Structure 1
Amino acid sequence: MLLPETSKHLWLALSPHGYGHAAMTAPVIHALRRRLPDLRLTIQTALPRAFLEERYGPDFTHIPDIPDFGLKMLSATVVDLEASAEGYRRLHADFDALVESEAQRLRRAWPDLVLANVPYVTLAAAARAGIGAVALSSLEWADIYRHYLGDRPEAAGIYAQMRGSYNAAQAFLRVTPAMDMPSIDTIIDIGPVANKGRNRRDELAARLPGRLGLAAFGGIDHDFSMANWPRMEGWTWATTLDFPKDRGDIVAWRDLGLPFSDLAASVDVIVTKPGYGTFTEAGLSGIPVLYVLRPDWPESPAMDIWLAAHTRALAVTLEALTCDAEAQLRRLFSLPEQPVAQALGNEEAAEYIASILCAETGICERS
């Protein structure tokens, strides 16, 4: 175990594209704090502090301003191509000045290390400021930009700046599962990073007898509606989505009083979209997953294969999910069970980050 003699300061920059980047990184930070109990943490992201406190606890400084936006979305699974292209044109209109502005922000705080999941401007700024930096994620925006917007006249210049920013980092810790990253030269592959929830179904049984499902579609509006979800005898559904108040078979997930990871580990099925956090948490607990196909998303092939190897998983169209949910659930439950995964990447990432934090001064000793 690594023990500090003085506190270290980690600057964590998180893409505010939904909640997945923040959720993915939280178990790594918890593992890091077990090694460095006095760690000072700054989190730079546009996500609300209340959500961050749920995942990280209250002991951090929040910087809500960040240039990164990921992609502009029409829904949780549909990219707004025109708005995204315009967003990147604006972001890169004077990229050097933007990087210098962020570098000045970092110089004022002077952290010992920058960890990015996975804003590239912050990585470029850290390099400009002379501060070490590491990326951690299952995706990166350079190849996603090229995938969706690479045919635009301005794309070559924007892509080159994105790629250069990522490769300015000391390393890119690519978690399992992850998209292909041909633009990244500094990849270190690690295992899954996720928080394995505690199965608390027995606590819920008195309030919610019968079978319990979770319908969760992340932090971006989705075109799936609980108003069209069929009533199923013997089923109650917890959801992150809005729902008609006359539906006695649907409850808001927060009303159940459990952390999301614990709820996800306590249900009979999760209905969702492809997303790293939901998929990995299901794979750690062996919870069956019924999910909406997303063939255009670069992460999908790797995530689909990984999920099917660690729990019963079925990809369906949005139409099939909405119109024929009971039949799809029967198909899902007929699949064979699979061996659950382990979140080996939590400790692998924390060990790597701690080794960098302690390397320059040598004040952290093993015991």
Structure 2
Amino acid sequence: MPSPHLWLALSPHGYGHAAMTAPVIAALRRRLPGLRLTVQTSLPVEFLRGRYGAAAALVEGIPDFGLRMHSSTRVDRDASAESYLALAARWDELVAAEADRLAAAAPDLVLANVPPLTLAAAARAGIPAVALSSLNWADMVRIYLGDRPALAPVLARLVAAYDSAELFLRVTPAMAMPALARVRDIGPVILGGTARPDALAAALRLASGERVGLIAFGGIDADLDLARWPVLPGWRWLTTLAVPPGRADLLDWRAAGLSFSDLLTSVAAVVTKPGYGTFTEAGLAGVPVLYQPRPDWPECPALDDWLAAHTRALAVDLTDPAPLADWLDLLLAQPARPPAVASGNDEAAAWLAARLEAGPG
């Protein structure tokens, strides 16, 4: 019997969609060791290899963008509307091209996190498909752009694309999804890392008692000027952002020589924006989180409450980081919380394995 073939389509809106799906694929590979995996996205190859391994076939380019952003926390509504109108103008053409691509590859199942056009293409090609995510772009368009009458036909197409999937596996925590018809809730999907504080201390040559924080914003530019980041005695900072010159206390995160998940699990605190991957990995490891609030982002009520239930957390205005020392004192003085359990990894993998083994129809 040939090995099952899964086509994984990932939104390139930041790194979160790819990071969220990686633990599900790892659990699925344990169930189906011969799984053939094709990953379609426009994210960097180095990142994808780190999450999905050398055996995955990579397909560059995907007709998906999520939302256009001014920064990691500010949606560009006008640019998003223009992009969705442009997408709608080419919808049939793009669906046909993607359907041809899928038909040529002939996967047994398409998994989308969470590009709607790929789901529409799978339906056109007659290939079963399922979605998995904590959000969907139909409800996002409804929330951010629903007051623009020109986008009503676009929204209808997005909803139809999602509803063409056999199922939408909504991971915990997640936004409400009133626009969609077939949603099944599962637990948190979290890759998780191994705490390696000794390796981190050796790599950075830390002095006794010196602590390390991680500044990470998920692959999208942040409204955070690290040139204004306070120098705090006893703290060193690793970051995914550009490091300003002349700052010995700020280093590129790769200087630690650890995977991102192991690094996040090993630090004393994380500074970030609300996002599924960073929040859930911190909640699994019990790492304290200092974060920039996003009151308009539809995932945030669920994300913020979930994080506060599983680790010490504090929302602050990081655009002015002058009170950093006081924030860290408040954050670290909070009582510990019970860590999360990554129950959704195997829940999703069990459903996907059963679907792959069932075959067409």
How does the TM-score come out when normalised to structure 1?
Answer: 0.95
The residue number in structure 2 matching 1:273 is 273
Aligned-partner SS, 2:89: coil
Aligned-partner SS, 1:10: strand
1:129 to 125, 128, 148: 125
1:188-243 CA distance string (max 9 Å, x none): 11111111110000222232231111011110111102111101111111111112
Q: In the alignment, is residue 310 of structure 1 matched against residue 310 of structure 2?
A: yes
Q: In the alignment, is residue 49 of structure 1 matched against residue 22 of structure 2?
A: no
> Which segment drifts farther, 105-114 or 94-103?
94-103
The residue number in structure 2 matching 1:338 is 337
Identity over the aligned pairs, expressed in percent? 61
Tell me by how many angstroms 1:361 deviates.
7.6
AA in 1 matched with 2:216: A
Say whether the 8 Å CA contact 2:225–2:319 is kept in structure 1. Answer: no
For residues 64-213 of structure 1, the aligned pairs below 5 Å read 64-206=60-202, 207-209=205-207, 210-213=210-213
Tell me by how many angstroms 1:151 deviates.
1.0
Distance in 1 (alpha carbons) for counterparts of 2:360 and 2:17: 30
Distance in 2 (alpha carbons) for counterparts of 1:325 and 1:282: 19
AA in 2 matched with 1:225: D
Say whether the 8 Å CA contact 1:274–1:291 is kept in structure 2. Answer: yes
Q: Which runs of 5+ in 2 are unaligned?
A: none
The residue number in structure 1 matching 2:291 is 291
Say whether the 8 Å CA contact 1:225–1:243 is kept in structure 2. Answer: no
Runs of 4+ deviating beyond 4 Å: none
The residue number in structure 1 matching 2:222 is 222
1:238-274 CA distance string (max 9 Å, x none): 1111122321111111111100000000000000000
> Which segment drifts farther, 112-121 or 186-195?
186-195
Distance in 2 (alpha carbons) for counterparts of 1:246 and 1:20: 31
Q: In the alignment, is residue 63 of structure 1 matched against residue 64 of structure 2?
A: no
Say whether the 8 Å CA contact 1:13–1:122 is kept in structure 2. Answer: yes
AA in 2 matched with 1:196: G
AA in 1 matched with 2:56: F
Q: In the alignment, is residue 329 of structure 1 matched against residue 295 of structure 2?
A: no
Tell me by how many angstroms 1:338 deviates.
0.3
The residue number in structure 1 matching 2:347 is 348
Aligned-partner SS, 1:323: coil
Aligned-partner SS, 1:69: coil
Distance in 1 (alpha carbons) for counterparts of 2:87 and 2:151: 13
Q: Which runs of 5+ in 1 are unaligned?
A: 363-367
The residue number in structure 2 matching 1:365 is none
How many residue pairs get matched? 357
How does the TM-score come out when normalised to structure 2?
Answer: 0.97
AA in 1 matched with 2:350: E
Tell me by how many angstroms 1:98 deviates.
2.1
